[in-house]
Structure 1
């Protein structure tokens, strides 16, 4: 097999693996949205497939990241309406916990006891960081495969 053919085959294989892996991982990701009106917070969560995250526990995280006060559970439609407890102004971290690998995190900025939705932060999971870390490794692997030649062709 000629060098250009080998390169094309290896590049297509590496690209296929790189594109297929994140899609498999995303199938279980949790996506959340918020609505806040007059002190009432409505949280909607679903898997990236569109299926509601039924029964997921919504809780406040403590400053050290450990689970804190439970605020409720998602209903069959993946929704939870609640009134936040009295909290100090600042940032409050919420976790939507559908089990290991099925979590979403939201940071709510509180000002005068109310949520400022313009400044809500949704933190990406570590999986996204891993995807970005893997990209240079895949590019390097393709480059290494291109440099390796059989002894007959030198």
Structure 2
């Protein structure tokens, strides 16, 4: 086998092995629950381990997704009670920001100036995990195709 194709095959094999040997990282997401009564919103946020997200900033997001008005910070018990400002009907996006990789996004539907908790929506992950999961298989398939063609 000539040197260049052999080098390419070895490189792809090494890449596939390297992708397959990635150390698993154990991240914990932020989980939030809401209670709303007479204009006062109570937000409880904790990591998936149950530990409160103490000090996390809770803010309203602007329509373009940028940070808007800060409503407050999560206390040591994982709670924030806040009176929502006067907001027009529609949807308001809240962000619980516990630092990079530790955020929760909630969409609050407003009807007649009140939050309708039955329609609260959690935002999806900002990335699609499926392409990353199949990447090693794709690299291996390309390596096999190069080998079979010879």
Please show how residues 51-62 of structure 1 align to structure 2 within 5 Å. 51-62=51-62
- Say what the alpha-carbon RMSD is for the aligned residues: 2.6
How far off is 1:132 after superposition? 2.0
1:7 match: none
The equivalent position to 1:132 in structure 2, one of 130, 133, 138, is 130
How far off is 1:48 after superposition? 1.6
Partners of 2:140 and 2:42 lie apart in 1 by 47
Where do 5+ consecutive residues of structure 2 fail to align? 1-15
How far off is 1:31 after superposition? 1.2
1:102 match: 102
3-state SS of paired residue (1:108): strand
Q: What CA deviation, in whole Å up to 9, does each residue of 1:91-145 have, x standing for no partner? A: 101011111221111110000001111111111232xx34222123233345456
Partners of 1:41 and 1:76 lie apart in 2 by 17
Larger RCO (CA under 8 A, 6+ residues apart): 2
Greater per-residue helix proportion: 1
